[in-house]
Structure 1
Amino acid sequence: MSDITGLTISEARDRLRSGDVGAVELAEGCVSAAKASGELNAYSVVTEELALEQAGAAQKRIDAGDAPDMCGIPLGIKDLFCVENVPSQAASNILGGFKPQYDSTVTTKLWEQGAVCVGKLNMDEFAMGSSNETSCYGPVVNPWRLEGDNRPLTPGGSSGGSAAAVAADLCIAATGTDTGGSIRQPAAFTGIVGVKPTYGRVSRWGIVAFASSLDQAGPMTKSVRDGAIMLGAMSGHDPKDSTSANIPVPDFEAALTGDIRGKRIGIPKEYRIDGMPADIEALWQKGADMLRDAGAEIVDISLPHTKYALPAYYVIAPAEASSNLARYDGVRYGRRAELGAGDGITDLYERTRAEGFGHEVQRRVMLGTYVLSAGFYDAYYIRAQKVRTLIRQDFERVFNDGIDAILTPATPSPAFALGSMDDADPVEMYLNDVFTVTVNLAGLPGVSVPVGLDHNGLPNGLQIIGRPWEEADMLNTAYTIEAACGFNDKPERWW
């Protein structure tokens, strides 16, 4: 089965249409791989019955010659997306037992295309984390390991289950969400492609909210072509989401020509941070050289407000989280704490939230409530929003000066050991987002592409930041890097 589950979307699409592989056969292979992968802890639930039912329906469409690109493709769905009658907990105890009676817009679009649900994927609780260690299901384990070292590594977060499942061939592709780097960082840690679209390109309806002005869903795939195919299936205007953009969705796959001659690619000097590993620095230079060899012009640029991005993000995101998570009160759905004689509604709220929310979620909710409070709203939240505007203006100025895309590292380091930051200041964990949060603050598209292995045999990725709404051009630049580096390494199976 491994050769089947190792297919890319484009390969599976071609083999399904030719009759070389059946949709049910492909679904059974992915379900079997998912059920046998307990040591990775990537899945929170495997939906075998649903997968086989959807695969059977997909096969009928294929046989009838009515097969969209995603028809028959087995997917893993991040636990943040609502799937009808399937546990959707956002990896939090406070949503224990919650089975939505509806699908998110994204999953609805995928099912309409004939995609197949292998199961729900583990993640950081409410998408708050960079290592997938805050989940109520326990941590996800990266399928990659250090050479000669069996210590379990993080797959990154918050879409760690999605990244691990795609890298380990437990599904053909997966959905992820990105609030500050939660698609791109785990993609880099696991050697896959992660696409964060322009804010508003993909509907947020039916996705459990973390920070509503930053959240954006996207695909996590085995190749840039797959990312283009799946992004096209996920995108489009949704009247149920007030932030969804009513603009046409281009054919992202058709844009993958590999021709970037004359493109101007920016290298921001502010991303050269102290303590960056030599492997990451060398990788960045390698990426620039490959783009130059392909005919692009490499231009040094400045994004002067980058240094304020992390502090601004960690004011804005917790503030929005505090507002969004106020709805989890033990009254309407999810967990409800037991009350004693004489306890009132305030006791119910306090006890339910204390029992249901993990420590990282509690930390961010309290931080967000603090910065929104009457005495500190102007000093923190309003100031952070002004910084956000300056960061967005930095990008606008650079793009207006003729820069077509920006090349940066995806992460400041390769994957680290699970538990290695347990006693560290939380800010050390937050620094994992140093190269990615600016993209969310500015609402821009970004993609992480695997480019090589470091000296310990772990994958590293580069990030390409595109102009707003120009994901097609951004993906073509990523496609050029992917073709030039020829990265096709896979983790050695041990699980």
Structure 2
Amino acid sequence: MTDLTQLGIKAIRDGVRVGEFTAREVAEAFNAAVAEAAELNAFIVTTPGHALAAADEVDQARAAGDELGAMAGVPIGMKDLFATRGVQTSAASHILEGFRPEYESTVSQNLWKAGAGMLGKLNLDQFAMGSSNETSHFSNVASPWRKAGSNQPMSPGGSSGGSSSAVAARIAPAATGTDTGGSIRQPAAFTGICGIKPTYGRCSRWGVVAFASSLDQAGPMARSVEDCAIMLGAMAGFDSKDATSLDMPVPDWGGALSSDLRGKKIGIPEEYRREGTDQAILDAWEQGKAWLKDAGAEIVDVSLPHTKYALPAYYIIAPAEASSNLARYDGVRYGLRELPEGAGLQDMYAETREAGFGDEVKRRILIGTYVLSAGFYDAYYNQAQKVRALVARDFERAFGEVDLILAPTTPTASFPLGSMNEDPLTMYLNDVFAVPASLAGLPAMSVPAGLNPDGLPLGLQLVGKPFDEQSVLDAGLAIEQRAGFTAAPEKWW
């Protein structure tokens, strides 16, 4: 039999449907792969029983001749930001350690309804705050990739580093991620997989631990563009419990996929040619233009003049929203409670947060509280919101001329774990190419483009018009077919 862990969503689903193998066989193969990969630290909690129970349901439904869902028989990893009934949901933070929700997030419920099972809860940067998966209370996630000739542990990206590591290591065929300022796209680029952040509102935020509510968006991470399209279709949909949810039908993105880009115009933003970007990434960008041209697209230069202000604006808006969202973690209703003898209510708040939040989370809460405080609200927060509007307007104008934008996903390939811990600002620069699309709420995807001279993956990013995930996926498919990226990390774990 084929090594089932080498298969993606479509191959597993179709194989189960025709009886080539059972859903239980798939779940058993991936459960075993997860158990063998403890060194990656991709999972905070494993749930082999959930994967097997979901698989048995699919096998029974197939035996009864029932129609199978879009994700039938596919066991996935669930980022530990999504509430899962009865299973610890910690956001990789000590303050929520041991919290087992009595409810299910809308996105995870949609996936279970489509026939998926859960291999476990994936590690991440604490409260999704980070670009390297080094801020988790449950220790760092390691990338399955290593530099050629080196054993140095590399970053899988963040915040969805557990997701990217698990998919790249073939211990999960796919995983959920969330993207606030690049947390699906950057880790996908670092580990040589695909990941798409849909239009803001496409996937419900209900039951997802909040970081920055006006930016957070769930999306799929998988090994192919088609697998991302299938999984996104299962995740997306209107949800009355989320006030920002889009009340729009969910297209059949997978069924409509086409790599024929004739008649499409692809914009190349000059402002993304930043100093400090690796030459290998600039070369991949040039190659990407040639691939899209070969697919029939016309390449057009565009300008996004406010790009240079996007990152500073993001690092005001996101921490401001975080300081508001994380105020609920106070030791009163759920999660950690630190109550020293004789302490009052304010002492309990302070002690609980001091013990429960990690350094990066505290840093962002302090920044956010500062920019929202009297005397600074107008100078910082309001100004950042105005910049956000200008960034969105830049995209709107560009999309008057072109259908899509092609850019690098990240300024560098993956870096060694620990190499940027002393300089948070350098770490924040990892998000420089990903943040503008997040501020504008646009669909954006990272697709593998090749390897750099060190043998590490590089990603190209496609940004589309609002609600036009189809064009983003189509262009991603065109790149995927021409790049022929089949490289996989050598197993060391």
CA–CA distance in structure 1, aligned partners of residues 96 and 2 of structure 2: 34
When normalised by structure 2's length, the TM-score is 0.99
| Other-structure match for 1:18 | 18
| Other-structure match for 2:144 | 143
| Other-structure match for 1:179 | 180
CA–CA distance in structure 2, aligned partners of residues 170 and 228 of structure 1: 20
| Other-structure match for 1:368 | 368
| Other-structure match for 1:309 | 310
Matched AA of 1:285:
E
| Other-structure match for 1:340 | 341
Matched AA of 2:259:
G
| Contact residue 220 and residue 227 of structure 1 kept, 8 A | yes
CA–CA distance in structure 2, aligned partners of residues 293 and 476 of structure 1: 14
**What is the CA deviation profile of residues 194-243 of structure 1, one whole-angstrom value per residue up to 9, with x for unaligned ones?**
01000001000000000000000000001000000000000110000000
| Other-structure match for 1:385 | 385
Matched AA of 1:448:
S
2:470 is aligned, of 458, 463, 472, to: 472
| Other-structure match for 2:408 | 409
Matched AA of 1:240:
K
Q: Relative to 1, partners in 2 of residues 1:322 and 1:2: Cα closer, same or farther, differing over 3 Å?
A: farther
CA–CA distance in structure 2, aligned partners of residues 333 and 389 of structure 1: 37
| Other-structure match for 1:431 | 429
Matched AA of 2:59:
Q
| Contact residue 2 and residue 169 of structure 1 kept, 8 A | no
SS of aligned partner of 1:13: helix
2:438 is aligned, of 440, 456, 466, to: 440
CA–CA distance in structure 1, aligned partners of residues 157 and 447 of structure 2: 15
| Other-structure match for 1:5 | 5
SS of aligned partner of 2:250: coil
The answer as to 2:485 corresponding to 1:487 is yes
| Other-structure match for 1:127 | 128
SS of aligned partner of 2:39: coil
Cα distance, 1:338 vs structure 2:
3.0
Q: Relative to 1, partners in 2 of residues 1:94 and 1:327: Cα closer, same or farther, differing over 3 Å?
A: same
CA–CA distance in structure 2, aligned partners of residues 271 and 62 of structure 1: 49
| Other-structure match for 1:457 | 455
SS of aligned partner of 1:157: coil
CA–CA distance in structure 2, aligned partners of residues 352 and 255 of structure 1: 50
| Other-structure match for 1:55 | 55
The answer as to 2:288 corresponding to 1:287 is yes
**What is the CA deviation profile of residues 340-380 of structure 1, one whole-angstrom value per residue up to 9, with x for unaligned ones?**
22x10000000000000000000000100000001100000
| Other-structure match for 2:88 | 87
| Contact residue 62 and residue 71 of structure 1 kept, 8 A | no
CA RMSD, Structure 1 to Structure 2 (Å): 0.9
CA–CA distance in structure 2, aligned partners of residues 17 and 370 of structure 1: 55
| Contact residue 2 and residue 29 of structure 1 kept, 8 A | no
- Listed as ranges, the gaps of 5+ residues in structure 2 are none
Cα distance, 1:79 vs structure 2:
0.2
| Other-structure match for 2:27 | 27
SS of aligned partner of 1:77: strand
The answer as to 2:153 corresponding to 1:155 is no
Matched AA of 1:346:
Q
| Contact residue 153 and residue 416 of structure 1 kept, 8 A | yes
Cα distance, 1:2 vs structure 2:
8.2
Cα distance, 1:46 vs structure 2:
0.6
SS of aligned partner of 2:418: coil
CA–CA distance in structure 1, aligned partners of residues 178 and 62 of structure 2: 30
Matched AA of 1:217:
A
42-51 or 298-307: which moved more? 42-51
SS of aligned partner of 1:253: coil
CA–CA distance in structure 1, aligned partners of residues 112 and 171 of structure 2: 19
When normalised by structure 1's length, the TM-score is 0.98
Matched AA of 1:415:
S
CA–CA distance in structure 2, aligned partners of residues 120 and 137 of structure 1: 12
SS of aligned partner of 1:119: strand
| Contact residue 156 and residue 165 of structure 2 kept, 8 A | yes
CA–CA distance in structure 2, aligned partners of residues 253 and 389 of structure 1: 32
| Contact residue 270 and residue 307 of structure 1 kept, 8 A | yes
| Contact residue 69 and residue 113 of structure 2 kept, 8 A | no
**What is the CA deviation profile of residues 262-315 of structure 1, one whole-angstrom value per residue up to 9, with x for unaligned ones?**
210000000000121110010000000011111110001100000000000000
CA–CA distance in structure 2, aligned partners of residues 214 and 225 of structure 1: 25
Matched AA of 1:226:
D
SS of aligned partner of 1:254: coil
| Contact residue 113 and residue 233 of structure 1 kept, 8 A | yes
SS of aligned partner of 2:255: helix
| Other-structure match for 1:225 | 226
**What is the CA deviation profile of residues 6-57 of structure 1, one whole-angstrom value per residue up to 9, with x for unaligned ones?**
1011111111111111101100111111111111000001101121111111
Cα distance, 1:65 vs structure 2:
3.8
The percentage of counterpart residues that share the same residue type is 59
Cα distance, 1:251 vs structure 2:
0.7
Matched AA of 1:365:
I
| Contact residue 339 and residue 347 of structure 2 kept, 8 A | no
SS of aligned partner of 1:11: helix
Cα distance, 1:69 vs structure 2:
1.6
CA–CA distance in structure 1, aligned partners of residues 46 and 440 of structure 2: 36
Cα distance, 1:452 vs structure 2:
0.2
**What is the CA deviation profile of residues 379-398 of structure 1, one whole-angstrom value per residue up to 9, with x for unaligned ones?**
00000000000000000011
SS of aligned partner of 2:40: coil
CA–CA distance in structure 2, aligned partners of residues 46 and 407 of structure 1: 37
Q: How many residues align?
A: 492
